[in-house]
Homo-oligomer: A and B are copies of this chain.
Amino acid sequence: MPHGTRHLFIPGPTNVPDRVRRAMNVPMEDQRAPDFPSLTLPLFRDLKTAFRNEKGRVFMYPSSGTGAWEAAIQNTLARGDKVLMSRFGQFSHLWCDMAVRLGLDATIIDVEWGAGVPLDDYEKAIAADRDHEIRAVFVTHNETATGVTSDVAGVRKLLDAHSHPAMIFVDGVSSIASIDFRQDEWGVDLAVAGSQKGFMLPAGLSFLSVSEKALAASRDNRPKMDRCYFSFADMITNNDNGYFPYTPPTQFFHGLRTALDMLFEEGLENVFARHHRLAEGVRRGVAGMGLKLQAVAPQWHSDTVTAIRVPEGVDANAVLKIAYERYNTSFGSGLARLSGKVFRIGHLGDLNEVMCLAALASAEMALADAGARIELGSGVAAAQAYYRERHAAGAESREAAE
């Protein structure tokens, strides 16, 4: 029986703020009450702000992010539709797998695990698609398995460059509300997020933010996949009045109200800046320990999760087990082909500098215990130096602003 804080540094579920936990600890209520929409309608509105989606709408499903992936596909595509995808980690892999299983005709580009969406290859495929048969291009914004962030805006640019009408699907489960995301500006048609990451809620609710174009696609005459649970149409009929086609998890709505309030109080730009600062400290810490990232170049560095290569001869799974059992710390494991080679530090959501230092201190001990040659304190020191410097810079810029 461990004592004290269970240190949670997985890339989701993330640490739910006390304020959100309090907000969710409510009695059940009547989801058909006359004043229920006064809770839900502002949530729909504010979620659109969080996605930077002015003209479309956001759906909330009682499901994991996987459910929202399926919702996106079922409502806008049909069996046999051509789509363009890429695979460079376990989550982009699973998305491809879903597409195939749901009957899409997917062109899947395999990329080194450690890089992201291959803009060049995508451009070639788009350029070659003269007849505009590709109905959708899929982008895993943040590949949680490798700690890699892709360039969504770049995909938009190349579609525009070729005047290609394909929709853009984005998996933003581990990016949205933590990393800059601009649905309208980037012309994203379907963006998937989950409650348990940047939205700082428990798992159990997914968000699907949909553009006008995607909504139109869901309504046009082409047949789509069979669906009921995830149907846009059923949702829209009810959501427009603040209600739901089936019993929604009302306690989540109270938590979401508070989570959105917290995001807006901090300011989304500041949320992103904080995630960047915390992440960069962790990366400095990893470098300070003499270790390498799974991300193959700085352009791919994720500000929500860092996948760390353990030294040759060390078993990353041993590091995880030691961290968990001796040091009350949960890190993310290496998934699929990365098992045993990588462990991951999730650094998103309700987090601060000293929590990141705790993660690094714990990782140093677990690595050393597992046989890695790590100078104790080296990672912590590198991160501390960076965090102090950023505070000094922040103080300076605040002073300059006065």
Residue of B nearest to A285 (CB): B377
Contacts of A31 in B (CB 8 A): 13, 203
Q: Are B358 and A228 in contact (CB-based, < 8 A)?
A: no
The segment from A146-154, A182-190, A362-370 that touches chain B is: A362-370
Q: Are A249 and B202 in contact (CB-based, < 8 A)?
A: yes
A225 to B15, CA, bound (A): 37
User: CB within 8 A of A226: which of B33, B205, B225, B365?
Assistant: B225
Q: Are A248 and B64 in contact (CB-based, < 8 A)?
A: yes
Q: Is A177 an interface residue (CB 8 A)?
A: no
Residue of B nearest to A32 (CB): B333
A residues 315-346 with Cβ under 8 Å of B?
Answer: 321, 324-330, 332-333
A residues 190-213 with Cβ under 8 Å of B?
Answer: 194, 196, 202-205
User: CB within 8 A of A352: which of B5, B79, B377?
Assistant: B5
Q: Is A303 an interface residue (CB 8 A)?
A: no
Q: Are A361 and B358 in contact (CB-based, < 8 A)?
A: yes
1/0 per residue A248-259: CB within 8 Å of B? 111110000000
Contacts of A364 in B (CB 8 A): 384
Q: Is A125 an interface residue (CB 8 A)?
A: no
Query: Given that A226-B101, A228-B70, A358-B355 are known contacts, is A365 also in contact with B384, CB under 8 Å in the complex?
Result: yes
Chain B nearest CB from A113 CB (Å) reads: 19
Contacts of A330 in B (CB 8 A): 29-30, 33
